[in-house]
Structures are given as C-alpha cells and as structure tokens.
Amino acid sequence: MSEQTPEENLPATGDENTSLPVFETRKGMWSGGSSDTSGYNGLVRHVSMPGQTEPPFGEPFDSIHARALEVVPGLADARWVYDRGELTIYVPREQLVEVARSFRDDAHLRFEVCVSVSGVHYPEQTGSELHSVYHLLSYTHNRRVRLEVTCTDADPHLPSVTPIYPMADWHERETWDMFGIIFDGHPSLTRILMPDDWRGHPQRKDYPLGGVDVEYKGAKVPAPDNRRSYS
C-alpha cells in the first residue's frame, strides 16, 4: 500500500460543484486539427473550470477566508478554489481594486507584494475568454494567495493594480503585450517585449504561429507554420 499523500498536496476538498459547464471537449492526445499517432485517439477529455471549494481548507487559508469576508463582504459571492495547497479567489473585475487594497492594507492579511500578473486565454470559454492572474505574497505572515479575474474578448478591460502595487507596472504591460488585456488606469500601457508597431498579441491561442526558419550547421529547422503535417 502506498503512503498517504500529505494533506497539503491533496486535491481540492469540500463540497465541489460536479456539474460544471463544459466549454470544450478534446479527443486524442493532440490538439484539434492534428493527426493522432500516439495510440490515444480514443481519449476524450471534457474541459471546464474548477468549481467552488467549501471550507475548511486548513490553515492559514481558513484565516484568510474568514478575514477576507470581513473586510470585503462582497467576496461571499466569489468562487474560492483550494487545490494542492493553494488558494485561488475568482474576483469580479469591479471588485479587484477594493480586494487588492484590502489584502495589502489589512493587518490580518497584509499581502504587501504582488509577485506577478499574468494572462491566460481560453477562447472556448464564451464570456470569460481572457483571465488575469495575480499572485500575492505576505512577508509579514509568510503566506500566499492567488486572485483570478476574467473579462471578455469584446470588452478586454480590467482595472490596473499599479497604484496599489507599483511593481505590477511591467507585469501588466507584458500581459497587455502578449494577451491584449487593457489595464485601465495604468500609467503607460505600452509594448514591453514586442516592437511598438507589432500587430496582435502573440500568446493568444488564436494568434497564427508564423515565424522564420532557424539555421544550424548543416541543418535548417522550418518555421512552425511551414513544418510537415501528418495526414
């Protein structure tokens, strides 16, 4: 018999919603449009976002949950997901600034640092195609929490947290550069990785691969859009 998995590494616990909307069904090992040569062509996976996790989560996350509801009562309607020792709070975008400021300033929370802001693109998740993820760190209490906020392709706007966490400046610029999320209130939302006149946002899943051939001594690797396809 194998050893029991430590509690902090267990998957999400509690009463989870098992009837979540499926926004994509994947068949086989590879992405759609590619022939499956792996032998797993019968594999079918239903893709959905994680459901609500009900407390208790274990400390320190129970304390974070209780205090967050005291300082931002509106989070009672938010989705909380505890999985593999990490807590994610899905925050409505209109509450993002309030939540970020409260999490920074409240003495019982005191998340002084926004370690990173990043983007994710789920083109099949109609109405929430774009996600922005904020990793917060508390030096005072030595703990972490994750905030996740969504917006649509048609209205890709989120409030900037740069006035609260100045170090988020470059992170928000990179997220806009790569994913096209517009952070309202950012002091200078300009390209940071791509040239200023670049069109599109290269890490979106609907962005064409393109590219240039890469030459090595005695060999050439074709660009992604020119590589051989199996049929």
Full set of structural domains in the chain with CATH: 21-50 (no CATH), 51-224 (3.30.460.80)
Confidence of residue 211 (pLDDT cuts 50, 70, 90): low
What's the confidence (pLDDT) of residue 68?
97
Q: What is the mean pLDDT of residues 135-150?
A: 97
| Tokens of residue 72, six digits | 């931002």
Which pLDDT score is estimated for 3?
41
Q: Which amino acid is at 119?
A: G
Please tell me the distance from the alpha carbon of residue 224 to that of residue 212, in angstroms, as a whole number: 8
Q: What string of DSSP letters covers 66-128?
A: HHHHHH-GGGGGSEEEEETTEEEEE--GGGHHHHHHHHHH-TTT---EEEEEEEEE-TTSTT-
Q: Considering the chain, what percentage of its residues have pLDDT values greater than 90?
A: 61
CA dihedral 147, 69, 103, 177 (to 10 degrees): 20
The edge-to-edge listing of strands for the beta sheet with 143-151 is: 79-83, 86-90, 143-151, 130-138, 113-121
Query: Angle of helix 61-71 relative to helix 96-105, nearest 10 degrees?
Result: 120
Longest Cα–Cα distance in the chain: 65
* Mean pLDDT to the nearest integer, 31-35: 58
**Has residue 7 got a pLDDT over 70?**
no
Greater pLDDT, 103 or 26: 103
Higher pLDDT, 30 or 89: 89
Mean of per-residue pLDDT scores for the chain: 85
pLDDT score of 206 more than 60: yes
pLDDT of residue 69: 97
Q: Is 220 exposed, middle or buried (0-12, 13-18, 19+ CB in 10 A)?
A: exposed
Condensed to tens digits (0 to 9), the pLDDT of residues 56-87 reads 999 999 999 999 999 999 999 999 999 999 99
Token readout for 83 is 């999985």
Mean pLDDT, residues 173-177 taken together: 97
pLDDT at 10: 38
